[in-house]
């Protein structure tokens, strides 16, 4: 009788370990699915950042063109020759500053998009690790169950 109870107890422990192994695998798969979802969100964010950056650059280009037109008009109203000397240098300097501003908008956008894509990749790698960790825990539980 005692042997029978001991065998039943061992069987229950083994069954419990098998169940724990299955639960560990499910937990790992769930963590991987969540990480993949988070990665997809980060990828969409990167795409949105790129679109927003392009829009900001177009707006800045239009603003710069208006400002340069206003500058040329004021120079013309003043009766100064706009194609030589100081007026030409001022226009060139202003155009250069506008171009630098546009490049910085693009740089900030590209950097932010790259950060979002890196975060997505980290999420994916974390998910893969969680999935593998679940499989390893399942195998360990099966080995422990005998």
The number of angstroms, rounded, from the C-alpha of 6 to the middle of its chain's C-alpha atoms is 55
CA-CA distance, 14 to 136, in Å (whole number)?
17
Asked if the model's pLDDT at residue 70 lies above 60, the reply is yes
Asked if the model's pLDDT at residue 11 lies above 60, the reply is no
The residue with greater pLDDT, 12 or 38, is: 38
Rounded to 5 degrees, what are φ and ψ at 86? -60, -45
Distances in whole angstroms, Cα of residue 109 to Cα of each of 51, 86, 99, 121: 9, 35, 15, 18
Rounded to 5 degrees, what are φ and ψ at 79? 80, 15
Confidence of residue 56 (pLDDT cuts 50, 70, 90): very high
pLDDT for 29:
85
The residue with greater pLDDT, 18 or 96, is: 96
Q: Which residue has the tokens 């894509």?
A: 117
Rounded to 5 degrees, what are φ and ψ at 80? -95, 145
Number of domains the chain contains: 1
Structural domain including 113 reads: 2-145
Highest mean pLDDT: which of 3-12, 27-36, 58-67, 80-89?
A: 58-67
Do the Cβ atoms of 12 and 145 come closer than 8 Å?
no
Q: What percent of the chain has pLDDT over 70?
A: 87
């Amino acid at each position: 009788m005692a042997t029978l109870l001991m065998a039943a107890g061992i069987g229950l422990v083994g069954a419990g370990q098998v169940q724990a192994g299955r639960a560990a695998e499910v937990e790992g798969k769930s963590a991987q699915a969540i990480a993949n979802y988070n990665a997809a969100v980060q990828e969409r964010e990167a795409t949105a950042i790129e679109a927003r950056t392009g829009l900001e650059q177009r707006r800045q280009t239009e603003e710069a063109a208006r400002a340069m037109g206003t500058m040329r008009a004021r120079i013309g109203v003043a009766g100064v020759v706009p194609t030589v000397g100081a007026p030409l240098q001022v226009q060139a300097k202003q155009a250069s500053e506008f171009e630098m501003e546009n490049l910085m908008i693009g740089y900030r956008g590209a950097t932010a998009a790259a950060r979002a894509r890196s975060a997505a990749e980290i999420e994916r790698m974390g998910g893969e690790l969680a999935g593998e960790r679940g499989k390893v825990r399942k195998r360990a539980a099966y080995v422990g169950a005998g």
